[in-house]
Structure 1
Amino acid sequence: MIKYIFGLLIIALVSCQNSEKNLSSEEIIDKAIEYSGKSKLNENILKFTFRAYDYKATPTCDGFKFERLSKTKPIRDVLVNDELTRYYNDSIVKLADTTAFNYYESVNSVHYFTQLPVRLKDEAVNLSNLGKEKIEDKTYHKLEVKFSENGGGVDFEDIYIYWFDVEDFSMDYLAYSFIVNEGGLRFRKAINRRTIDGVVFQDYENYKPRVKSKKLEDIGKMFENDQLELLSLIENEDIELSPVKLNCN
């Protein structure tokens, strides 16, 4: 009987390990979203402050309305369906295409990072599992994200990598390559993690390579080997959630 019970325990342990090894990229993302509680953003208005602006993300039946409000001027940027409109008081400001594009990128980027990892369920996201990697003595699922041109936004050629803890599926690190402004790489380490109304929020240390590099896949090792330098802190303050009811029938 003891041998039988011991055998069952071994089988259960091996089965659990195999299940862990065989997680698909989609399953990893689902577990990360469950850990983060970010699905609640689909039914709550999110407000927060980042540097000189107040931000607001409002769920609608057609996605999200993203807003950025200046703290010093009566200026409000509204982003709906990839189209940005700037208001001065309540009047629409006519913008040159280049200026509108820059504002779009700025507003969308701040909101995008705040909503992670739930945005990794977007239709334009293409996931690749890069296996596991150890950073700062912890093991992570390492996923690469590329975007389809259709629905991937103006920066669809950017490539991202995310590291999810194999134990709790927290998103502890992320990195990305970009091509605008001569291109480059960035690496972010999560800090100041806190839970607000059941939703996990975190700030980031933002790093760049000390020597210009195009090897995004190696940036985790570069961080481990002290080959990155701290560029800035990404800190969101005054985070507030308020429930909203949608009638999309």
Structure 2
Amino acid sequence: MIKYFLGLLMIALVSCQNSEKKLSSEEIVDKAIAYSGKSKLNNTILKFDFRKYHYKATPTCDGFKFERISKSKPIRDVLVNDELTRYSNDSIVKLADSTAFSYYESVNSVHYFTQLPVRLKDEAVNLSDLGKEKIQDKTYHKIEVKFSENGGGVDFEDIYIYWFDVEDFSMDYLAYSFIVNEGGLRFRKAINRRTIEGVVFQDYENYKPRIKSKDLEGLAEMFENNELELLSVIENKNIELTPVELNCR
């Protein structure tokens, strides 16, 4: 009888260990994408408004075509294959390199954050598991993202951290370090989460450290200790999704 119960105990322990099998960074991201429904954007035109502009992301056989259209002027910025072109009344506007880079940064950034977490499957993305961390009494998978220089865009040296809920894999927080404009750190908290046609969208509270810091990994703890100040609220409005068929060969 004792051997019988010991056998049952061993089976239970093995079963428990299997159920708690450690997930890889890739598996965590895959589950986060499944939760978000953002894979749908690979064959769906996304339109939305952010501040003074109307944005449009169109999937093509060669990647995405990103657009930013002014609401008050006949200006349209188009980003294709990391090259930005500005149009005024459908005529190309010649831009200085520094100006074109600034517009590129702005257009790409807005679209990038809107498409997360599906963009974490880009070829240039390198994932690292930083373990688990608690924020406001919830436990999260903490994943670091760095980019390869080849394919990582002009901001390949930026570093990101994402916090995914261990239960449903929602992306509740993110942070990043950046080099342009003298560099800095940002921390974002997801708010106003809603599902539109099977795709999860969310807005963000955007924070920075009250005192200049380079401690990217410590931003969640700084948030808990009220050491971050609210800079802005990132809100995407009037979201529209339109399915599109791609005949790529």
Same fold, TM-score > 0.5, yes or no: yes
The separation in 2 between residues aligned to 1:85 and 1:46, in whole angstroms, is: 20
**Do residues 197 (structure 1) and 193 (structure 2) align?**
no
SS at match of 1:77: strand
**Aligned position for 1:182:** 182
Deviation string for 1:98-137 (max 9, x for gaps)? 0000000000000000000000011111111100000000
Instruction: Supply the AA of the counterpart residue of 2:248.
Output: C
Instruction: Supply the AA of the counterpart residue of 2:15.
Output: A
Offset of residue 9 of structure 1 = 4.5
**Aligned position for 1:231:** 231
Offset of residue 13 of structure 1 = 2.5
User: 1:1-249, aligned counterparts within 5 Å?
Assistant: 3=5, 8-17=11-20, 19=21, 22-249=22-249
Offset of residue 12 of structure 1 = 2.4
Offset of residue 176 of structure 1 = 0.3
The separation in 2 between residues aligned to 1:247 and 1:15, in whole angstroms, is: 42
SS at match of 1:123: coil
SS at match of 1:73: coil
Deviation string for 1:25-75 (max 9, x for gaps)? 111110100000000000100000000000000000000000000000010
The separation in 1 between residues aligned to 2:163 and 2:79, in whole angstroms, is: 29
SS at match of 2:189: strand
The separation in 2 between residues aligned to 1:10 and 1:37, in whole angstroms, is: 35
Deviation string for 1:146-170 (max 9, x for gaps)? 1111111111111100000011110
Instruction: Supply the AA of the counterpart residue of 2:52.
Output: A
The separation in 1 between residues aligned to 2:17 and 2:85, in whole angstroms, is: 55
Tell me the percent identity: 80
The separation in 1 between residues aligned to 2:196 and 2:10, in whole angstroms, is: 44
Deviation string for 1:3-35 (max 9, x for gaps)? 576764443233211x1xx21111111010000
The count of corresponding residues between Structure 1 and Structure 2 is 246
The separation in 2 between residues aligned to 1:110 and 1:208, in whole angstroms, is: 18
TM-score (norm 2): 0.96
SS at match of 1:180: coil
Offset of residue 182 of structure 1 = 1.1
Residue ranges of structure 2 left out of the alignment (5+ in a row): none
The separation in 2 between residues aligned to 1:149 and 1:114, in whole angstroms, is: 23
The separation in 2 between residues aligned to 1:217 and 1:156, in whole angstroms, is: 18
The separation in 2 between residues aligned to 1:45 and 1:227, in whole angstroms, is: 39
CA RMSD of aligned residues (A): 1.4
Offset of residue 180 of structure 1 = 1.1
4+ aligned runs moved over 4 Å, structure 1:
1-10
Instruction: Supply the AA of the counterpart residue of 1:11.
Output: V
